Structure 1
Amino acid sequence: MQSPCVMDEFGRLAATELAALDLDAAWWALAGFPAASNEDVEPDEGNDSRDTTGDGRVASTAGVAAYPVRQMMELIENIAAKQTTIANTDWLAWCARLEQTLCLMAESPVLTYFQALGLNPLSPLRVEAFRPSFAETQEQSAEGQMYDSVLDRIEDKWRTGNLSVIGGGRR
């Protein structure tokens, strides 16, 4: 008798349910990419020597004032800076990590604040300048199409896809 194959929404086989993430935990899950994500370990809250993203930026949103817009936009800015440095060979894995991580933020109070404002915080990530050159346009590359599909799925999970774009973002 064969046992059924159980996969979660992120393609993980027989996986335990992942815990919801706040903005800081989400950034920590993305900051060390392409190193493997450690789903069970969070950064040491008492450690003052915070890691950086490799370009000198601190890999935490903890230094941002407790304003939801500032917190979310720093996360989006950090993601944009990080993903412009991702190699083509790592792009598929980056897109999977980004989708899994951001989907786990769907119940974040900061995201709820953006929903109440009627703004889509992911829209800036659709701007070509915030993508690596090989994924700049959906029309010209499979990588761009894949990335836009990932953003679409995250927006569906976040319930922000039909909200107003921010700045030069697009839908």
Structure 2
Amino acid sequence: MVQEVVAANVPARLALWRMLLSLDLTRRLDYRGPVDDPLLRLVDEPRRLEARLVDALWVRVVDVPAALAARRYATEVDVTIEVTDELLPENAGRWRLRGGPDGARCGPADGPADLACDVRALGELYLGGTGLTALADAGRIVERRAGALAAAGPAFTWHRAPAPMGTF
């Protein structure tokens, strides 16, 4: 069972996988990793890996402004999000988020919300693995200002998927 594969750079990571996949007398390899792990592209027949998605990583935001300010964003973003939270009333409210790749600020907002969601959807969005539009299509995020999804969506993505998300 491989718990984690960590390397200094991509060539070293690929070399580790090549070594692991070439071990004699190995019938099965269990591994949980991100959905964008290069492993699926290293093998000639990726379907034989029997990759599947499993629940493995959950985030519950307990301090909305601190969490949103601590995260970096792929593009510049200026959005007001109305959050509901039945467990922690101090999370509920409208929060203005301004940020980008170098950092962010988030605090209470007086104006109308651009987007609205509950804290569970915010946790999923916070990880950067599920797009804003996908969450809106599922009814988990509501667009209150026309164009807000398209404007804010790219900011919540990231160049790597959150991990662990998959198992092989």
The structure whose residues are more often helix, as a share, is 1
Length-normalised TM-score, structure 1: 0.25
Length-normalised TM-score, structure 2: 0.26
The structure whose residues are more often strand, as a share, is 2
Report which structure shows greater RCO (CA 8 Å, sep ≥6).
2
- Structure 1 or 2, whichever has the larger Rg, is 2
